[in-house]
Amino acid sequence: MIQAQARELLAERSTFPKLRQAANAERGFDADLWREVAELGWLSLDVPEEYGGMGCEGLERCVLSEELGRSLAPIPFASTSAVIDAVRLFGSDAQKARYLPGLASGEIRGALSLVEDPRLGGFAATFANGQLNGMVRPVQDVDVAGLLVLAARDADAGTAGLYLVDPDQAGVRRRPLKMFDRLRGHDEVTFEAARAERLGGDTAGDAAAAIAELAERCAVAIAFEQVGGSEACLEMAIAYVRERKTFGRVIGTYQAIQHRLADMFAEKELARSNAYAGAWGLTRPAEVRAATAAAARLSGTSAFDFAARENLQLHGGIGYTWEANCHFYFRRARLLAQCLGPTSRWVDRLVDSIETD
Amino acid sequence: MDLTESPEGQAYRAKVAAWLRENAPPFLITGRMPLGDEVALGRKWQARKAQAGYGALLWPKRYGGEAGAPNQMRIFRGEEARYPLPVQPYTGVGLGMALPTLFAHAPEELIERFAGPTLRGELTWCQLFSEPSAGSDLAGLRTRATRTEGGWIINGQKVWNSFADYADWAILIARSDPSRPKHQGLTYFVVDMHSPGIEARPIRQMTGGADFCEVFLTDVFIPDAQQIGAEGEGWKVALTTLAHERARFGGSRYQISASTLVRIARETCLNGRPAIEDSAVRERIAVIYARERGLTFFGARLATRTSRGEPIGPEVSVSKLVSPRLTQDTGAFAMELMGYEGLIEDESSDLRVIHDNFCLATSHRIAGGADEIMRNQIAEKVLKLPQDARLDKGVPFDQLSQLLTSTREIARR
């Protein structure tokens, strides 16, 4: 039911003309829609009741991710949800009390960065003596975030750490980046003696394990976005091939076209099946979670890539224009494919989970 | 153990595994067992399973089944596939296609006549559908059913009929009225394979085996009581069979998987280190494994629907479309990992299993609805795309050849 409501709301609020406007502006955040979904309780789903949430970890957030993937609505739902996960799972009691109520109500928007610098081969920012230094990019949704959770290098311990940072302080400088996907804001963030506190405070556990788990949770949420995006592409393509005529009949009657759509459907259904398994895997032990999340990630990425490219292809020349809407998904498919670390890392997670026969 | 399974599933799997450990050994296929011996063994294995309540998990309870427990079926098949057991279409066609079709379309007394003996492996079945000029275009079949006193006389030729030479009974579609358009003039029957006028000849396959036959029907009499569904409604009945056939193919348990690849990649070297450490190898394995898992969970989703009593939907074509191609990829990569040596047909190594499965998957891309037909099904039945232009649409069957000749002439001009 929540899915049908979400679909209806997003279809009304996040129309293609609005998306085109947002893409032209290159800063897309829809503050009105954010307020509306916050009031509907979308952000409070996974937050424990004692911190003002509903405490119902279930499929609800997944189906919302799917609908957002379908509608491309420019709101930082994924980022804020990821930050909620970080704080509720790995925060100290004081941190939970301080941030969760605001995150649940939508007053605090979140941004999560696990990105590593490809030249350094590790986290670009360094934490020492309560302060962060360094430059990190790209960071999604940090332009509208009131709380940033950042993976950085702990200079003293020489290990990875997770840190809570207020991005509005003087020591944090944000520079907007022009991105391949124009519908989600990304910034280059420079930290100069920025105040930060360790997620989990003095009792913080193994940050590497926490980073891995957060990445896996993001992978599952993104897999649902990818399923939603794939389905939107498939529906767009079907609608088009039922109208467009060549050689005296609609192109949807040609098997060459039908078979491509059938393959898109099959790929999407495999991705959906793996996404559900991924959602279920989040409630299971770490090794199960790692495998189901990795399968969801690989499956979702290949399905959406395929759907986005073939949707554009089936639209012919019109698909290549700014006025057609294919490029939104074409661009989003790349964003979702590349925003969560190298594919090889997900490949490793999955291959390491296979038992030999 | 499959860690992605629910606790109930895991418990059931453990129970099945223990039962198989205890009961499977006397029924294993050894070396290159003659086909006749394998079929006989298959009947006995089916009887053993029926005795233990594993004979037909998807059948209704009143016929000895477990009332549609698709998840249990999936688990049982998976565990069963760990052993070289005689489970092939010789028992499968009856259990998975013929009887489910009868459950949906036949009168109770006919079901009762066949259900028990089929469940216990006493009766085996084959499928007489395809013909030399009616494969993907199945409804274009030409085998004739002519009315006679108390029944029908059948004349024609069928092909690709798995284990027809060992089958006791068959499901058959034939043309009962050539003056109607091709889908409307068909009638569905069950026929005793020992009837006078039936001759089944094995066809040698590319694997060297001869699992399937061509079947010649000459003045074969079928009594009225063995007509399934109304006269002229055979296509509708056949669709039930085809849906079950696709579900069977989609759920095929091959003996090779990503697990095989990992094992081989650990045992073989590539550029001076174990192949499993090579990133290109890992990526190919991961892609295959992700698809394997997707198929498994997709199957579970479909099974959840059928367990609620919904009929098998056209989505089943997804499994049928993906599964054999995936096994082809898996087989080819398994062979490739072993290099030149991977082509050696060594009876004592598992290369033989890899080669067999690689070839078997090739046949599964064609049998039971070719890949192209599966895509047509998805496009037309799931995505509701307009049907491709068909010259023969609505044309009485007996005028088709005339129509096609004139079309050819137009094309020539």
User: How would you label A82-109 residue by residue, b for 16+ Cβ within 10 Å and e otherwise?
Assistant: bbbbbbbebbbeebbebbbbbbbbbebb
User: B253 in contact with A at a CB cutoff of 8 Å?
Assistant: no
* pLDDT of amino acid B251: 66
Per the CB < 8 A criterion, the answer to whether A80 and A43 are in contact is yes
CATH H-level, domain B251-382: superfamily: Butyryl-CoA Dehydrogenase, subunit A, domain 3 (1.20.140.10)
pLDDT in tens, chain A (357 residues): 889 999 999 999 999 999 988 888 766 799 999 999 999 999 999 999 999 999 887 789 999 999 999 999 999 999 999 999 999 999 999 999 999 999 999 999 999 999 998 878 789 999 999 999 999 999 999 999 999 999 999 998 889 999 999 999 999 999 999 888 889 999 999 999 999 999 999 888 899 999 999 999 999 999 999 999 999 999 999 999 999 988 888 999 999 999 999 999 999 999 999 999 999 999 999 999 999 999 999 999 999 999 999 999 999 888 898 888 999 999 999 999 999 988 888 999 999 999 887
Using a CB–CB cutoff of 8 Å, tell me whether A54 touches chain B.
no
Task: Categorize the per-residue pLDDT at B390 as very low, low, confident or very high, splitting at 50, 70 and 90.
Answer: confident
The pLDDT value recorded for residue B178 is 96
Closest CA to B259 of B285, B220, B221: B285
Question: In the structure, what pLDDT confidence band is assigned to residue B4 with cuts at 50, 70 and 90?
Answer: low
B306 pLDDT more than 90: no
Determine the residue type at B227: Q
Residue B220 — φ and ψ, nearest 5°?
Answer: -85, 130
What crossing angle do the helices spanning B258-267 and B316-337 adopt, rounded to 10°?
10
How many residues are present in chain A? 357
For B126-232, which CATH superfamily applies?
Butyryl-CoA Dehydrogenase, subunit A, domain 2 (2.40.110.10)
Q: Would you state the pLDDT for residue B1?
A: 34
CB B52 within 8 A of CB B16: no
Q: In whole angstroms, give the CA distance from residue B45 to residue B87.
A: 8
Q: Which of residues 385-404 of B touch A (CB under 8 A)?
A: 385-389
Residue B97 confidence class, pLDDT cut points 50, 70, 90? very high
Cβ neighbours for A232, distance < 8 A, ≥ 6 positions apart: A69, A70, A71, A329
CA distance B158 to chain A (A): 28
- Extents of the domains making up chain A: 2-109, 111-203, 207-353
What number of CA atoms fall less than 13 Å from residue A221's CA on the CB side?
A: 25
Are B379 and A262 inside 8 Å of each other by CB? yes
Kindly report the CATH number that applies to the domain delimited by A207-353.
1.20.140.10
**Domain limits, chain B:** 7-87, 126-232, 251-382
Contact B290 A258 (CB under 8 A): no
| Closest by Cβ to B290, choosing from A234, A276, A299 | A299
Q: Which is the CATH superfamily of the domain at A2-109?
A: Acyl-CoA dehydrogenase/oxidase, N-terminal domain (1.10.540.10)
Residues B364-378 have pLDDT tens digits of 988 888 899 999 999
**Residue at A80: amino acid letter:** T
Give Cα B225 to chain centroid, integer Å. 27
Of A241, A270, A346, the CB nearest to B298: A270
State the pLDDT at residue B127. Answer: 98
**Nearest CA to A213 among A144, A128, A286?**
A286
What pLDDT score was predicted for residue B413?
A: 66
Q: Determine the Cα–Cα distance for residues A220 and A340; give it in Å rounded to an integer.
A: 11
Output the pLDDT for position A221: 98
CATH match of A111-203 with 2.60.40.10: no
pLDDT at A89: 96
pLDDT at residue B312 tops 70: yes
pLDDT for res B8? 85
Task: Provide the 10 A C-beta neighbour count for residue B359.
Answer: 17
Q: Quick one: average pLDDT of B123-135?
A: 94
Confidence of residue B3 (pLDDT cuts 50, 70, 90): very low
- Among B168-177, B229-238, B243-252, whose mean pLDDT is lowest? B243-252
pTM passes above 0.95: no
User: Lowest mean pLDDT: which of B3-7, B113-117, B126-130, B270-274?
Assistant: B3-7
For an interface test with A, give the residue of B1, B3, B253 to mutate (most A CBs within 10 A): B3
pLDDT confidence of residue B2: 44
Type of residue found at B298: F
Tell whether B293 lies on the interface with A, counting CB pairs under 8 A: yes
Helix axes B234-250, B316-337, angle to 10 degrees: 40
Read off the pLDDT of residues A231-261 as tens digits, 9 standing for 90 and up: 999 999 999 999 998 888 899 999 999 999 9
Please judge whether B382 and A271 are an interchain contact, meaning their C-beta atoms are less than 8 angstroms apart.
Answer: no
Q: B289–A351: do the CB atoms touch at under 8 Å? A: yes
At A52-62, the pLDDT tens digits run 999 887 789 99
Helices (H), B120-227: none
In A10-32, which positions are buried (b, 16+ CB within 10 angstroms) versus exposed (e)? Answer: beebbeeebbbebbeeeebbbee
Is A274 at the interface with chain B, CB within 8 A? yes
Q: CA B399 to CA B392: how far, in whole Å?
A: 9
